[in-house]
Amino acid sequence: MTTAASASNGPVGPVDSSRVPRYAGPATFARLPRLDEVGGRADVAVVGVPFDTGVSYRPGARFGGNAIREASRLLRPYNPAQDASPFALAQVADAGDIAANPFNINEAVETVEAAADDLLAGGARMMTLGGDHTIALPLLRSVAKKHGPVALLHFDAHLDTWDTYFGAEYTHGTPFRRAVEEGILDTSALSHVGTRGPLYGKKDLDEDEKMGFGIVTSADVMRRGVDEVADQLRQRIGDRPLYISIDIDVLDPAHAPGTGTPEAGGMTSRELLEILRGLASCNLVSADVVEVAPAYDHAEITAVAASHTAYELTTIMSRQIAASRQGE
């Protein structure tokens, strides 16, 4: 089996789909090389976290990362929306999965943090494929160790700033409250995008606002339009180091049925991708796409949307890496 096609001196890119059918061979993200095939060094490491012990409703996001990898076989190397070939600008590689204990959330959270520390220490930015949203907490911890408190854009139907579920502190509904408590977020630049749906009470919103979050609801996106929303978010973030966390349930269930806690009235995949492209100038240090649960998916609708989402995020990171190299 032909593996990654190598360009002399440049990054090792994806398997060439004009020579090896794109449905053949192992499913790394975008058919990119594995991290060990590029000497263990990457500018952007795509990593899976097959973990879903933190969910409050339907399980299955532990299979999300591999579903996204499968759907990503169809991605092509040039991204016209950002006028960039992300896999030629920087070394992007698939770092495989973090093996988190499914029977012990606290241990799993520690494992994810330690694995993220290793990848970031090697100089990579992380593009993480979840997994449920619990994993954003250890990923943010690790990123904050490197960059200090980071700006956060959180695309989600839900706030995920609740306190506990059944007394548990680490769940998929609570990562961002923990992160604020731990001082790892820059509370002058926090925003939820795509929020909607029923809450437990008005105090959910009051507490969320006190933590420093701004909210752009999915109805706001519809009314204001993607350009205005992206402009507003860009202004709020400025040049701070930015982490983007994308719960795929930010999309309407018509665009992402394969998820654990679906809510009606969500964004389209086109809106999500366009807002991300509008953030291309931000200093994106790492990102995640979480909550893809393929058992509830149809025709890979959700996994395709998630693979394109990760592709836009990867493109932003690759462009910035190339630009900062030029500036050196």
Ligand X SMILES: N=C(N)NCCCC(=O)O
- What's the first-to-final CA gap in the chain, in angstroms? 38
Residue 133 known to bind ligand: yes
Backbone dihedral angles phi then psi of residue 295, each to the nearest 5 degrees? -65, -25
Neighbour count for residue 9 (Cβ, 10 Å) = 5
Which lies closer to ligand X via its Cβ, residue 34 or residue 158?
A: 158
Distances in whole angstroms, Cα of residue 192 to Cα of each of 93, 215, 320: 29, 5, 24
- Give me the 65-104 binding string for Zn ion, x by CB under 5 A, dash otherwise: ----------------------------------------
Percent helix, strand and coil across the chain, each rounded to 5?
A: 40, 20, 40
In the bound state with ligand X, the residue whose beta carbon lies nearer, of 151 and 293, is: 293
Strand order in the sheet with 150-155: 92-97, 44-49, 125-130, 283-290, 241-247, 150-155, 185-195, 213-217
Interatomic CA distance for residues 131 and 44, integer angstroms: 19
Tokens of 4: 């990654």
d(C-alpha 300, C-alpha 53), whole Å: 23
Looking at the DSSP bridge assignments, the partners of residue 195 are 217
| 247 labelled ligand-binding | yes
Q: Which does 57 bind (CB under 5 to 8 A by kind): ligand X, Zn ion, none?
A: ligand X
The answer on whether 147 is annotated among ligand-binding residues is: no
Choice between 33 and 138, CB closer to Zn ion? 138
206 is in an annotated binding site: no
- In the list 43, 156, 208, 288, the residue contacting Zn ion (rule: CB under 5 A) is 156
Residue 168 · residue 105 · CB < 8 Å? yes
- In the complex, the smallest distance separating the C-beta of residue 157 from ligand X, rounded to whole angstroms, is 7
Cβ 249 to Zn ion shortest distance, Å: 4
Output 97 or 288, the one with its CB closest to Zn ion: 288
Quick one: which of 157, 292, 304, 317 contacts Zn ion (CB under 5 A)?
Answer: 157
Kindly state the smallest distance separating residue 326's Cβ from ligand X, in Å. 38
Place of tokens 């609740």: 162
Least distance (Å) from ligand X to the CB of residue 275?
19
Q: Which residues, listed in sequence order, are joined to residue 91 by a DSSP beta bridge?
A: none
Q: How far is the CB of 291 from ligand X (least distance, A)?
A: 5
Instruction: Catalog residues that contact ligand X under the rule CB under 6 A.
Output: 56-57, 133, 158, 160, 172-173, 247, 249, 260-261, 291
The distance of closest approach from Cβ of residue 281 to Zn ion in the complex, given in angstroms and rounded to an integer, is: 26
- Amino acid identity of residue 231, one-letter, is D
In one letter, which amino acid is 323? A
Q: Which is nearer to ligand X, 134 or 142 (CB)?
A: 134
For residues 248 and 256, the answer to whether their CB atoms sit within 8 Å is: yes
Residue 84 exposure: Cα atoms within 13 Å on the Cβ side: 20
Residue 141 interacts, among ligand X, Zn ion, none and using kind-specific CB cut-offs from 5 to 8 Å, with none
Helix, strand or coil, per DSSP, at residue 210: helix
The response to whether 308 counts as a known ligand-binding position is: no
Query: What DSSP designation does 250 have?
Result: G
Between residue 221 and residue 250, which ones bind Zn ion under the rule CB under 5 A?
Answer: 247, 249
Which residues define the annotated binding site?
A: 133, 156, 158, 160, 247, 249
Q: Which residues make up the interface to Zn ion (CB under 5 A)?
A: 133, 156-158, 160, 247, 249
Which residues define the annotated binding site for Mn(2+)?
A: 133, 156, 158, 160, 247, 249
